Amino acid sequence: MIRRPPRSTPLYSSAASDVYKRQITVLLTKKLMIYPIELYGNSVLRERAVEIVKGEVDVKKLSEDMFETMHNADGIGLAAPQIGISKRIFVVDGSMLEDEEMKDFKEVFINPTIESETGDAWEFEEGCLSIPGVRGDVSRKSNIHITYFDEEWNKKTKEYDGMRARVIQHEFDHINGKLFVDYLPSLKRKLLKNKLSEILRGKVDVNYNVKK
């Protein structure tokens, strides 16, 4: 909260003015931003995102904004291209799921590299905030080995499996310009043609902001 200056301080005091400016700057800096979600058909979703150079982007602020945007849309994963930023960063947060495996899974992935994907392939129905109202079974390997930086620029190498691995694989696809519908059989894609065409025209019914 920004405090008014003491009554003994003239409102035109340069010192008071400087205090206000600093307080306003801090307030605006901390305020979270909710981005509109890019919809299927927008070219940024098909680009291979570029790596982030340390210092060029405030990754802590960006990741906080991405979490806020994702939570506002009831998502569990969000990649920067989905908010129109072609950078290699995505966030995940499974706390809203009933799955005990996912409840404490909240992470920021910067410049990630999936070193390997192993294990048996398994199918699961996926959806995407950028392709609302469309779902389909996607087959993915059950285990991944990934190297990435967190929001503090700490380098990490971890292994994930099951649903955690799947969420990461889905978001990793986004920063490489790939969407889950690309994995669907041709017949399934044909059946979805009209729905996808509607999304291309911006005809969507969602409870979050989208960029048409």
Residues tagged active-site: 171
State both tokens at 69: 């945007």
d(CA 207, CA 177): 25
Name the amino acid, one letter, at 151: E
164: helix, strand or coil: helix
Measured over the CA atoms of residue 105, residue 111, residue 117 and residue 123, the dihedral's sign is positive
Closest listed residue to residue 89, CA positions, set 47, 52, 43, 138: 52
Question: Which residue is listed with tokens 């694989």?
Answer: 169
Neighbours of 73 (CB within 10 A): 20
State both tokens at 57: 């982007």
**Radius of gyration of the CA atoms of the chain, in A:** 21
